[in-house]
Structure 1
Amino acid sequence: MTHPGDGGSGKPWVRRTAHVLRPDPDRVLARLFLPGQEMVTSGESRSAAVIARVLALADDEVERELLDLTTDFGHRHHDLEATWDQHFGLVRHRLPHAERLPAHRRRLVGAYFTQEYAVESTALFNPSMVAHPDQDGLPSGSTRFVMTVRAVGEGHVSSLELRTGTVDAAGAIELDAPPAHARVPVVTEPRFARAAFEHQLDEDPDGDRANADFVLDALGLEFGRAELDLAYGELRSQRLTRGSALRTIERFERIARRSYEVTFPPDSALRERILMPQGATESHGVEDVRMVRFEASDGPPTYLGTYTAYDGRDIAMQLLSTHDFAHLTSRPLSGPGARNKGLALFPRQIGGRYVALSRADRETNAITTSDDLLWWGPPAVVQRPERAWELVQLGNCGPPVETERGWLVLTHGVGPMRTYSIGALLLDLDDPTQVVGRLEHPLLTGTGQERSGYVPNVVYSCGAMRHGRSLVVPYGSSDTATRFAIVDLDPLLDTLCRRAAAVTRQDHARVAGGAS
């Protein structure tokens, strides 16, 4: 059954476009390959045996292999030979006098320790969209955008991809050409936030807090690896009177591994860049980034993205931060408001505090606040499942969009047959715990081919972008592909406010009836 405004009923203010981003199995990364860790009968590892066999090849065969490899694989990668050289460097310790090997043999050894990984072989979905940091050179009324997309590859591992494009004055979307190569960043030494450690330690009641405080007292508000190691040294020097010193260091290291910084090569195009999982906490996935262009009161805008880190068993919330999508930092989030998935930041502070949408209880939409973006307080529920299409659970579909009539929140609801729909909610500008209005029927439900895919009957967004008097909504369909819809803002807001007025009239009528 279709409903007014659900995007499948021909409602003129909700329009799907013809754009579809599908997963491309030819988009590959060149990654390190280690041929097994088991031991063979000789007691040597398989890596050593493979190297010995490569070194036994005749010179003409080495040249022929390298030529064939370059022909078959070179066009699929940026500077594949440099990758082979890098991978040789990682195994050269297994070769005595490795520096004496000719360059072509070193490179071929590196090729045997390289594999292609199809980063989006399974899915490309759950996008969020923000205005690009560079808006120069555009026609009047046009907006250049950056879109984050969740890519799923071999082993169901999720990573973050970026795409770019423009929306013109008439609302027409133009996607930039698909990237020719996939580029990964260089991981650099992070600057740690003391507050992140304090918050994580507060949530671990079984640890020795006296030892933890001893380490924290030696650190500034921000610090690097050298300062942390120095604090460890002071703790170790007192290990005779601090029996759990090693356990304390282990706790700090677990927290430290959740913070990292990466920098993409300066010659990489933004849409080529891919953030693969970094560290144990997100070893199986960087999932569902909700990116927002955050307007600070005392500086330039910052792009902040909350996401779910998945290690194959447990989930944790992380916060990405960047000014240019070339250098990114990630830090752990904590607190009752940051539990479970789906934390989505408001694009500015309200009343001097950071504010976010939360789904900490797994089924309602709530508001949580923070002093430092890292610890999120107890959430206040603002929306519970009420309609047939959302009775299983509710959640948000990305950061709120500011309008003159309130904070516009796209929501998702799960109904019978695990069918996902996208709805909308309007919150008060000054007090977002107050609901102005909510849609009675979905804004978008899956139709036609959108219903078929890796997870059927799902439409889901991680963030829309306001463009003049319209809302550009990128959305994932059935956890497989990414599609787009344009929503006229004014009729959507009118519908939300009419619904709010109708509820108010009903409330007044009930009060009057009770008084009589």
Structure 2
Amino acid sequence: MSQATFLNRQALFLRPDSSRVVVRPFKPATEPRDLNPTDKTRANHIVDRVLALDLETAEILLADVLENFDGRHRNLLATFESRAAEMEDAFAPHANFTKTQRQLVGAYFLNEYSFEASALFNPSIVSHPDQSGLDKGSRRFVLSLRAVGEGHVSSLTFRTGVIAADGSVDIDPTVRLASTPLVTARTSVPAGEQVDVSFDPQQSISERVIFPITPAQSNGIEDARFVEFEDNGKKTFYATYTAYNGTGIRSELLETKDFLTFRMGPLAGTVARNKGMGLFPRKIDGRYAMIGRQDSENLYLIYSDDLYTWNGGQLILGPKFPWEFVQMGNCGSPIELDEGWLLLTHGVGAVRKYAIGAALLDKNDPSKVLARSREPLVRPEPSEREGYVPNVVYTCGAMRHNGHIILPYAICDTFSNFSSIKISDLLKTLDG
């Protein structure tokens, strides 16, 4: 069966929007230090210049800044105050300064960042925590996306929408404003630093942007694979993602119950040095389970008694067919079907062409591969081959809805789209 026969591309293109911006701390570049080490830093110099303004000039200047930027952000004065609070060392030499001067200093140490100017890709989909007020057979969802802006820094952003009973998808309008969360706690853990963050409940989910917070994430929060995890009747949304600091990577875990407050922290163990880990949506025989790639080629099944520590693993899938000869990887968490665990995979073939396939794992023993894709389910169409990274289709997680798999996927690491596949048709394509 060809993909044109059973793959329903829905043409819901989610493209990057450079007009959506957040404010981020601005740190002046340091000059070569050939001066006395007791001399003032550039930050001190900037603060000196602002505080040297007479009060009337400072008030006029602050009003001008607000007129230029206030409609682009929420609570901008509070943001200026918060940034000024981080500049206490630069304020130290000055005995007296007004609230206006303090806010103006905060403004000088911020910059706007167009967080999705370059790309909006590698989506993952889960059920929304609120399923009220829907038509029969419909489901509300949360879609996570990797957003990339200036300097190729990745952050995590969200959309919401509704899947109808027949599998058709509708995306809610995206709000223009974007905001980063408040960091409410920082905790040292054995593998690094754990952070808790929260958003204002008044903010739409599509307004919420999780930008890199810790040094390990400084160059990107990449490819979050969300899963709705159930344990003893309690549901938690987890996402494994790659933290990138510019030179090295590690796997980290995000958790939330409401997409309003989040906890983020590093995973420990030998497996956490790799990327692309996908958590099963429930325990198997009382243990947590992951699918991950440890050697740049093959997929492994990994068990742990501890959600945060992962070691070892059993090889279960490797390149077999031409479209995956270069490497394989998982495309999100396994999806539970009556027939077994449906694992979406990606393969890389000739001329580094990415495609999406699938495998069916035994429900009781996922190390047993029951069937797999001989040919890809999704491959780049002629209209989907051009972009930042040509010849790529990729997803970080699909969702079962009634008799369909709802598959959001990225095109050429640039923008995202949706497809749906009937489960019965998909299973017919698996053999291998």
TM-score clears 0.5: yes
C-alpha spacing 1:309/1:94, structure 2 compared with 1 (3 Å): closer
Letter in 2 for 1:287: E
Whether 1:489 aligns to 2:426 is: no
Distance, in Å, in 1 between the alignment partners of 2:63 and 2:357 is 55
Query: Considering only aligned residues, what root-mean-square deviation do their CA atoms show, in Å?
Result: 2.1
Which residue is equivalent to 2:392? 458
Deviations 1:33-76 (A, max 9, x none): 23333369793322232233333445554344333322321111
SS in structure 2 opposite 1:325? Answer: coil
User: Where does 1:219-230 land on structure 2 (aligned, <5 Å)?
Assistant: none
Q: Are the aligned partners of 2:230 and 2:236 in contact in 1 as well (CA < 8 Å)? A: yes
Farther-moved stretch of structure 1 (93-102 vs 461-470): 93-102
Whether 1:168 aligns to 2:173 is: no
C-alpha spacing 1:95/1:412, structure 2 compared with 1 (3 Å): closer
Which residue is equivalent to 1:418? 352
- Tell me by how many angstroms 1:465 deviates: 0.9
SS in structure 2 opposite 1:423? Answer: strand
Distance, in Å, in 2 between the alignment partners of 1:149 and 1:379 is 28
Could you state the TM-score of these two structures normalised by the residue count of structure 1? 0.78
Distance, in Å, in 2 between the alignment partners of 1:447 and 1:92 is 55
Which residue is equivalent to 1:20? 13
Q: Are the aligned partners of 2:225 and 2:333 in contact in 1 as well (CA < 8 Å)? A: yes
Deviations 1:85-132 (A, max 9, x none): 222233354346968534333322222222111111211111110001
Of Structure 1 and Structure 2, the greater strand share is in 2
Name the count of aligned residue pairs. 429
SS in structure 2 opposite 1:133? Answer: coil
Q: Are the aligned partners of 1:405 and 1:493 in contact in 2 as well (CA < 8 Å)? A: no
The match for 2:2 among 1, 5, 9 is 5
Whether 1:350 aligns to 2:347 is: no
Q: Percent identity?
A: 44
Of Structure 1 and Structure 2, the greater helix share is in 1
- Tell me by how many angstroms 1:403 deviates: 0.7
The match for 1:277 among 186, 206, 212 is 212
User: Where does 1:71-90 land on structure 2 (aligned, <5 Å)?
Assistant: 71-90=67-86
- Tell me by how many angstroms 1:362 deviates: 1.2
Deviations 1:205-253 (A, max 9, x none): xxxxxxxxxxxxxxxxxxxxxxxxxxxxxxxxxxxxxxxxxxxxxxxxx
Could you state the TM-score of these two structures normalised by the residue count of structure 2? 0.93
Q: Rg larger in 1 or in 2?
A: 1
Which residue is equivalent to 1:207? none
Which residue is equivalent to 1:235? none
Q: Are the aligned partners of 1:292 and 1:305 in contact in 2 as well (CA < 8 Å)? A: yes
Whether 1:128 aligns to 2:124 is: yes
Letter in 1 for 2:315: V
- Tell me by how many angstroms 1:275 deviates: 1.4
C-alpha spacing 1:315/1:96, structure 2 compared with 1 (3 Å): closer
Distance, in Å, in 2 between the alignment partners of 1:182 and 1:492 is 38
Q: Are the aligned partners of 1:40 and 1:46 in contact in 2 as well (CA < 8 Å)? A: no
Whether 1:159 aligns to 2:155 is: yes
Q: Are the aligned partners of 2:184 and 2:198 in contact in 1 as well (CA < 8 Å)? A: yes
Q: Are the aligned partners of 1:36 and 1:47 in contact in 2 as well (CA < 8 Å)? A: no
Which residue is equivalent to 1:35? 28
Q: Structure 2 unaligned runs (5+)?
A: none
Whether 1:361 aligns to 2:358 is: no
Distance, in Å, in 2 between the alignment partners of 1:369 and 1:80 is 46
Distance, in Å, in 1 between the alignment partners of 2:49 and 2:188 is 45
Farther-moved stretch of structure 1 (147-156 vs 58-67): 58-67
Which residue is equivalent to 1:182? 178
Letter in 1 for 2:2: G
- Tell me by how many angstroms 1:469 deviates: 0.5
C-alpha spacing 1:49/1:394, structure 2 compared with 1 (3 Å): same
Distance, in Å, in 2 between the alignment partners of 1:351 and 1:94 is 56
Distance, in Å, in 2 between the alignment partners of 1:475 and 1:482 is 6
Distance, in Å, in 1 between the alignment partners of 2:15 and 2:283 is 36
SS in structure 2 opposite 1:305? Answer: strand
Q: Are the aligned partners of 2:51 and 2:97 in contact in 1 as well (CA < 8 Å)? A: no
SS in structure 1 opposite 2:224? Answer: strand
SS in structure 1 opposite 2:268? Answer: coil
Distance, in Å, in 1 between the alignment partners of 2:58 and 2:257 is 45
Deviations 1:396-447 (A, max 9, x none): 1101111111111111000001000001111111111111111111111111
Q: Are the aligned partners of 1:336 and 1:360 in contact in 2 as well (CA < 8 Å)? A: no
Letter in 2 for 1:155: G
Distance, in Å, in 1 between the alignment partners of 2:93 and 2:307 is 52
Which residue is equivalent to 1:315? 249
Q: Are the aligned partners of 2:192 and 2:266 in contact in 1 as well (CA < 8 Å)? A: no
